[in-house]
Structure 1
Amino acid sequence: MKPHPAVLQACLLFRGRSVEEIEALLQKMIYTVSEYPKKAVILAEGDTADRLGIVLSGRVEVQKNHPTGSGVTIAHLNQGQTIGEAVLFRRNNSVPATATAADPCTIMFIGKQELLRMFTADTDMLTRFIENLSERLVLVNRKIEMLSAGPLRRRIVDFLLEQAELQSSDQIRLPFSRKEWAEHLNTARPSLSREMGILRDQGWIQFKGREIALLDMLQMKDYIHSVEAAPGDNR
């Protein structure tokens, strides 16, 4: 199966390239494309990271598992985003977390040696790869900040305000299910539902399914500032 060049334009490695330029690159590249049904494991924790994955379609969930059997969702990856780049060139290049198909998905894989060949021939692509690593580091830092942000309500409001900024609207759509959102926030779904109900009753939000309307972003921002000023508050 051959990836569509227009899809690859969403990937940072190929960003700024025309469809014709990507088509020419594909003719010279060595790669594979694999399809995965929902819930199939794409990369398992402990596997050797010897290739870069690019999501061509569907959605991928990355989760860090604990010996107790519980796990924390680290990221949800959509079309154009990459898998495995953070550890690909480490000396100990074992996969640190499990990547699973959240929906039926198609993944393009490029081997480590092929990537090195491409970087040698195309320094612009190497620059984009480094930019991609930097973006991923920022996402990890945001995740750490969110998980250490204190009370659940604060984490929920933080997330909603961030999504409003990303989607440039006070009418947002969750990028994943309520269950996945709870995992993303490292909480139980009933706890998330309870806090969402409180925010609705306060007149800050309205929601139906994945659609959430932020009715009072000023109050939400004031709440964040008040929690930051009083870190002992567990609301």
Structure 2
Amino acid sequence: MKNISSFLTNSVLFKNKTQQEINNALSSIEYIVKSYKKGDLIFSVDQTTKYIGIILEGCIEVQKNLASGKVISILYKKKGDLFGEGSVFSKTNTYPCNIFAKTKSTILLITKQNILNLLSKDSSLLINFLNSFANRILSLNLKTELLSYSSIQQKIAFSLLYLMDEYKCNNVILLPYSKKTWSEHLNVSRPSLFRELKILCDQKIIHIQNRTITILNKDHLISLLWH
């Protein structure tokens, strides 16, 4: 891939860096660029931790296999995001989850030692890395809270209230993914999600127009979380 720096200007790690600064940083380390087709396995459970990934193109999905045999989606990562950093810098020697290419994707892979070399030379990269790490922990905590709710309406309510806060919107939300992806994120079937959304629409709690969701009764959504 040519001009890797142009893909990294909006990445989490190289935030606020120019293409020349990124080129200079990359010239001091070794890295690999790999392409994956939709559905390809990038990192697998129990695979020895070696690389941290940066998504140059596409998006990925992190899946966890439960003891019950159920597979749940933990989170999604998009262009510019880091992944695998928690595993590489933990005391475990293997990845705890399977990571798949959600779409056709191109990934920059960097070893732990090369990441450390980058961070030791540039404090702004270190700050960006730590911010990404902190946001990842927050995302996992939110996912854990989401999974603690038993009903689909509770999961919908939690998700919508979070999006309202995340995007600092009043009562109109532009869903940042398809409803199919939303159902996977909530770990419910798409027909079940559509059924509960229709009920909420019929009750005048929300209004849906394609990906635009208008919150008509925020207090009701909040009350759902306490039931």
TM-score, normalization by structure 2: 0.89
Counterpart for residue 205 of structure 1: 207
The structural deviation recorded for 1:40 is 0.6
Summarize the Cα distance change of 1:43–1:3 in structure 2 as closer, same or farther, 3 Å threshold.
farther
The 8 Å contact of residues 56 and 107 in structure 2, kept in 1 or not, is answered as: yes
Counterpart for residue 175 of structure 2: 173
| Distance (whole Å) between structure 2 residues aligned to residue 159 and residue 126 of structure 1 | 31
| Distance (whole Å) between structure 2 residues aligned to residue 68 and residue 150 of structure 1 | 17
Counterpart for residue 190 of structure 1: 191
Code of the residue aligned with 1:41 in structure 2: it is: L
Greater shift in the superposed pair: 188-197 or 52-61: 188-197
1:156 maps onto 2:153 in alignment: no
Counterpart for residue 55 of structure 1: 55
Deviations 1:89-112 (A, max 9, x none): 222131111111111000000111
The structural deviation recorded for 1:87 is 1.3
Code of the residue aligned with 1:60 in structure 2: it is: I
Identity of aligned residues (%): 31
Counterpart for residue 119 of structure 1: 119
| Distance (whole Å) between structure 1 residues aligned to residue 222 and residue 134 of structure 2 | 28
Summarize the Cα distance change of 1:3–1:173 in structure 2 as closer, same or farther, 3 Å threshold.
farther
How many residue pairs were aligned? 224
Code of the residue aligned with 2:60 in structure 1: it is: V
Code of the residue aligned with 2:195 in structure 1: it is: R
Select 1:224's aligned residue among 207, 221, 224.
Answer: 221
Greater shift in the superposed pair: 80-89 or 197-206: 197-206
Deviations 1:16-52 (A, max 9, x none): 2122211222222211100000011111111112111
Code of the residue aligned with 2:40 in structure 1: it is: A
| Distance (whole Å) between structure 2 residues aligned to residue 182 and residue 166 of structure 1 | 19
| Distance (whole Å) between structure 2 residues aligned to residue 159 and residue 182 of structure 1 | 11
Deviations 1:117-170 (A, max 9, x none): 222222332232222111101111111111213432121122123334444551
Counterpart for residue 128 of structure 2: 128
* Structure 1: segments with no counterpart, 5+ residues: none
The structural deviation recorded for 1:213 is 2.5
| Distance (whole Å) between structure 2 residues aligned to residue 199 and residue 224 of structure 1 | 9
The structural deviation recorded for 1:114 is 1.0
Name the SS for the 1:28 alignment partner.
Answer: coil
Code of the residue aligned with 2:175 in structure 1: it is: R
Deviations 1:1-23 (A, max 9, x none): 34532321222211121222112
Name the SS for the 2:132 alignment partner.
Answer: helix
Code of the residue aligned with 1:84 in structure 2: it is: G
Summarize the Cα distance change of 1:36–1:108 in structure 2 as closer, same or farther, 3 Å threshold.
same
TM-score, normalization by structure 1: 0.86
* Structure 2: segments with no counterpart, 5+ residues: none
The 8 Å contact of residues 2 and 33 in structure 1, kept in 2 or not, is answered as: no
| Distance (whole Å) between structure 2 residues aligned to residue 44 and residue 185 of structure 1 | 22
